[in-house]
Amino acid sequence: MAAATRWLRQLLRAAGAGPVPARAVRRSVLGVPARSGLAWRPSRCGSSAAEAPATKADEDSFLQWFLLLIPVTAFGLGTWQVQRRKWKLELIAELESRVMAEPVPLPADPMELKSLEYRPVQVRGRFDHSKELYMMPRTLVDPAREAREAGRLSSSARSGAYVITPFHCTDLGITILVNRGFVPRKKVAPDTRQKGQIEGEVDLVGIVRLAETRKPFVPENNPEKNHWHYRDLAAMARLTGADPIFVDADFKSTVPGGPIGGQTRVTLRNEHLQYIVTWYGLCAATAYLWAKKFLHRAPGM
């Protein structure tokens, strides 16, 4: 009996069960059931200790590659902004070349105008001052002043309106809408600028503009009060009986006492360089932190 007990204890010890009480072995050999609450079970401490380092290594590996997504994504967004800036600069250059091109005769077909936006055209005819429209509020386009005041919270620009006047083209037999230019608020009423109300036929050069949709936070047009906030050519044409063709008169069309022409803005918002610096800077900072944590840590950490 003692030999059997010793043999069973040696077998359990070889299996990694740890020290086994002799009483438990004797009960097992004799077939005596263990009392409730005193059952002996092999220790699993060795197995748990082996699994813990593997689980921690898996978690560290997942965190390492997940955090790497931050600099990779920032680099991708920075590269995308580089492409966007290139596209915007090319678009600005194209618009500037269009505005500086030689004037061409205004086509009679409105469908042809879709490819002529920002192109100068020349027309001959007379104004119908009795059907003026007013786009307001507007400020005078003055590149020199705008350059001086860039970055300021306030501006010295005067508020006023653009005077939109039907213009009957004698050579084409159609009536178009012409933005004669800017007038200050106190000169919006026609009787305050009678000297600038051109009579008779004139030759005019202007920039073709297409209809625009209302932007967020821009008020709706109010035809009843003759207040227009954006170019709704269809509505303007219905009200004046003109064709839905719109031209910004150039600065040379300005006459003493009349609206100031040349109110075409050709500059486009271009803040892509700031975005490039932001995204590439974030990429560099997060890549440095990632490398410091996961590549330069001491072994075993």
Over residues 267-291, the pLDDT tens digits come to: 777 889 999 999 999 999 999 999 8
Residue 155 pLDDT exceeds 70: no
- Kindly report, residue by residue over 110-141, the tens digit of the pLDDT: 788 888 999 999 999 999 999 999 999 999 98
- Mean pLDDT confidence for 165-170: 97
In the chain the beta strands, taken as DSSP E runs, fall at: 104-105, 120-127, 133-139, 159-169, 174-184, 202-209, 227-228, 246-249
pLDDT score of 298:
47
Query: Residues 6 or more apart from 212 whose CB is under 8 A from it?
Result: 230, 231, 232
User: Residues 85, 270: contact at Cβ < 8 Å?
Assistant: yes
Q: What is the pLDDT of residues 34-62, one digit of tens each?
A: 454 445 555 555 555 555 566 766 667 78
Q: Mean pLDDT, the chain, as a whole number?
A: 82
Q: Give residue-wise pLDDT tens across range 59-89.
A: 677 888 888 999 999 999 999 999 999 999 9
Q: Return the higher-pLDDT residue of 101 and 24.
A: 101
Specify whether the CB–CB gap between 116 and 208 falls below 8 A.
yes
Please say whether the beta carbons of 122 and 208 come within 8 A.
no
What was the pLDDT predicted at 255?
94
Whether 284 and 276 have beta carbons less than 8 Å apart is answered as no
Alpha-carbon distance of 286 to 76, in angstroms, equals: 14
The Cα 273–Cα 51 span in angstroms is: 51
Three-state secondary structure call for residue 21 = coil
Residue entry with tokens 């360089």: 273
pLDDT at 35: 52
> Looking at 57-61, 164-168, 172-176, which range is the least confident one?
57-61
Q: Report pLDDT for 156.
A: 60
How far is residue 134's CA from residue 157's CA, in Å, rounded to a whole number?
18
3-state secondary structure of 200: coil
